[in-house]
Amino acid sequence: MWCKRLACLLKVPCQPSGSAGHRSSWILHGSRTVLVAAARWHHKAPESLRCAWQLHGDHLELRYANTLMRFDFVWLRDHCRSASCYNAKTNQRSLDTASVDLGIKPKAVRVDETTLFLTWPDGHVTRYGLEWLVKNSYEGQKQQVMHPRILWNAEIYRQAQVPSIDCRSFLETDKGLKEFLQNFLLYGIAFVENVTPTKEDTEILAERVSLIRETIYGRMWYFTSDFSRGDTAYTKLALDRHTDTTYFQEPCGIQVFHCLKHEGTGGRTLLVDGFYAAEQVLQQAPDQFELLSKVPLKHEYVENVGDCHNHMIGVGPVLNVYPWNNELYLIRYNNYDRAVINTVPYDVVHRWYAAHRTLTAELRRPENELWVKLKPGKALFVDNWRVLHGREAFTGYRQLCGCYLTRDDVLNTARLLGLQA
């Protein structure tokens, strides 16, 4: 996505002592390299050249591939990839960051067609590829998407005709697993067909992509309407759309559902892309989106049923975004488990309720609801950080099994297969 590599030959002398506020730069002018010393950026290069840099008192300014970047001198020293500073075998930093002088400045700077060279006061030389700097600069990251996704409502998802993956292909081939994970990463949901309807086979399925996250509900759980746990889910009642474990400090990343048996009517599963709904709020009411991403709330689970005694509390905003590019990565939405709102001052509460109402209205739009009937043999994986799930009321005996997966391990599996995750 970046512009092609730019040719430039640049050089700078040591900055004169006692001139911390002085800025100097060399830029290419035709076939000559010219020193420029001034209080602002100078564009002396021909129109075809798009590469220049400038030293400031505490940072280096670099223009490359249509991106203007600013690098703190300590950052440039800290991220050195030389053999003495970085272990390429373990991909770990060797340099002691706390040993770097916070007032450090390079004594020489040079740029060739592909690389920035910095010589430090002790003579150490740091080299950075210009493309690497574009990719890893703050300015470059602001233009990057961490997790490519396809946002959807019911019609978009149906038209996409996302295929389910056969269980044998999923378990026995990297191709099947990769296709499954690609679907999951893009849409936040994915299905596996022809699974033997037992808890043991569902467990084997889950372990193909991740470690199973053991919680207060155990490792693998059976799910019926016997109210064996202090949760509305263990009834025959309808469940409104929500994400699970909002009362954990880190909500579970992925949830697996497999219907083993249903002798009755109803019980369809509701799926809603929370990120699609949040995007509508961002476009229509950006101030409300920002409020939902800034106001921390408590979610709570209190259980005293039989031998189960738990009191869980999780804290976080409804919408969680990366601050550098405003990309949404987690929605924490569960009206059942939201605790008393006592983390918000009175003059913000009403605005928060209005913003929550706007998001809820989007989540409840019929066109955003994808209804599926889970049947024995068809397992569903749900991104619990993105897709809300619910259920219509049902009759008769209905048994599901499932588990939670650790998000880090699912993404790790995807990256090892060459996917962006």
12: pLDDT strictly greater than 60 = no
**CA distances from residue 302 to 236, 247, 309, 313, 337 in whole angstroms, order as listed:** 21, 10, 8, 9, 9
Strands (E), 211-307: 212-213, 221-223, 239-242, 254-263, 269-273, 297-305
193-222: per-residue pLDDT in tens? Answer: 999 999 999 999 999 999 999 999 999 998
221-251: per-residue pLDDT in tens? Answer: 987 755 454 556 667 788 999 999 999 999 9
Q: Kindly give, in sequence order, each residue whose CB lies less than 8 Å from that of residue 335, ignoring residues fewer than 6 positions away.
A: 240, 242
Q: According to the model, what pLDDT value does residue 233 have?
A: 62
Q: According to the model, what pLDDT value does residue 15 have?
A: 38
14: pLDDT strictly greater than 90 = no
42-92: per-residue pLDDT in tens? Answer: 332 334 337 799 999 999 999 998 999 999 999 999 999 999 999 999 999
DSSP letter at 69 equals E
Domains for the chain: give ranges and CATH numbers: 2-142 (3.30.2020.30), 154-416 (3.60.130.10)
Q: According to the model, what pLDDT value does residue 225 have?
A: 58
Helix (H, G, I), strand (E, B) or coil at 110: strand
36: pLDDT strictly greater than 50 = no
Q: According to the model, what pLDDT value does residue 138 have?
A: 96
Q: According to the model, what pLDDT value does residue 302 have?
A: 92
Q: According to the model, what pLDDT value does residue 238 have?
A: 87
